[in-house]
Each structure stands twice: as structure tokens, then as C-alpha cells.
Amino acid sequence: METQMDIHEILKYLPHRYPFLLVDRVLSIEPNKSIVALKNVTMNEPFFPGHYPHYPVMPGVLIVEAMAQAAALLSFKSMGSTPDEKSVYYFAGIDGARFKRPVSPGDQMIIKVSLIRSMRGLYKFKGTVEVDGLLAAEAELMCTVKAVP
């Protein structure tokens, strides 16, 4: 079991870059099982000036995207491979997305993703995001790797 990944290793596995990289560190990862990652949410995020400027709140779609990026890290670590220019890791579905509390500047999102099943290149995950030990969001995610045309 690998215990952590710093930002330098994350960048080897995710093609995302600023402002769309939404995982800062992996706290623990167990291939084919689960991952726990974190995202430090700061006022410097590019979406805050336009998303409720009087009460900055992280958009729900980006919270789900953070779960998907953690799921991608788990997938690539489980496959024992890194992404390349010939393929892209895509969403195939999102089910049961629920947002329980807002995520605001200064919060630290703890992203927990567990593999439910993997079949013929399609992965299904259960993801949660917690802030200060309280559930902020949850969703089931389906993702797949597709060849770039």
C-alpha cells in the first residue's frame, strides 16, 4: 500500500493544470480499493470572483470534478500505468450527486473515493468530500479511458 503522493507525482498521473487541477495531495491510496486526497480551497481560486462574490462558494461541479480527479489517480495507480497523449480519462456517468454543505475559501476538502467495480475499462466509484469532518458532497461516478481520435 502506497501511503502518499505529493503534487509532483500527481502531475505525472493527471493531465490537468492550473486552474483545473483540483487535487493537491494524496494522503493514502490502496490500488484497486480506495484513495484519500485533499484540496486546499483558497480565495485565490479563479471561480470565486464570479460565483456568489458576496458569499464565495465552490461550484458543485468542481467538487464533483475533484472526486473524479481522485478517481483517475486511483484508476491509473490500479492499472499500473500513466496517461499518455493517445488517451483521455472521461466521465461516463454521475449518479446520486448530493451537496450537503457549502465549500468556502479556507476549507480543506478531504476527498474519499472507493472503487465499487471495474469491468471492461469502465470504472464505478463512490466518492465523498468532507470538510472539518462533515459531509459536504457525495456522488457515484463512472469513468472510462478512451482513445483520442
Global pTM reads: 0.95
User: So what's the pLDDT on residue 89?
Assistant: 86
Q: For residue 143, is pLDDT > 70?
A: yes
Just give the CATH number of 7-147. Answer: 3.10.129.10
Q: What residues form DSSP beta bridges with 34?
A: 30, 114
Q: Name the grid cell of 26.
A: 494524496
* Residue 30: band (very low, low, confident or very high) from pLDDT cuts 50, 70, 90: very high
Helices (H) and strands (E) in the chain, counts: 2, 6
Residue 51 is a catalytic residue: yes
Report the C-alpha dihedral over residues 80, 145, 47, 140, rounded to 10 degrees.
-90
d(CA 109, CA 22): 10
Q: 93: helix, coil or strand?
A: strand
Domain extents for the chain?
A: 7-147
Beta-carbon contacts of residue 102 (< 8 Å; ≥ 6 apart): 57, 58, 136
Which is the catalytic residue, given 8, 16, 51, 54? 51
Predicted confidence band at 2 (pLDDT cuts at 50, 70, 90)?
low
Question: In the prediction, which pLDDT does 82 show?
Answer: 83
What's the pLDDT tens digit per position in 99-138? 999 999 999 999 999 999 998 889 999 999 999 999 999 9
Q: What is the pLDDT of residues 52-101, one digit of tens each?
A: 889 999 999 999 999 999 999 999 999 888 888 888 888 999 999 999 99
d(C-alpha 83, C-alpha 21), whole Å: 15
Measured torsion, CA atoms of residues 26, 108, 102, 92, in degrees rounded to the nearest 10: -10
Q: How confident is the model at residue 1 (pLDDT cuts 50, 70, 90)?
A: low
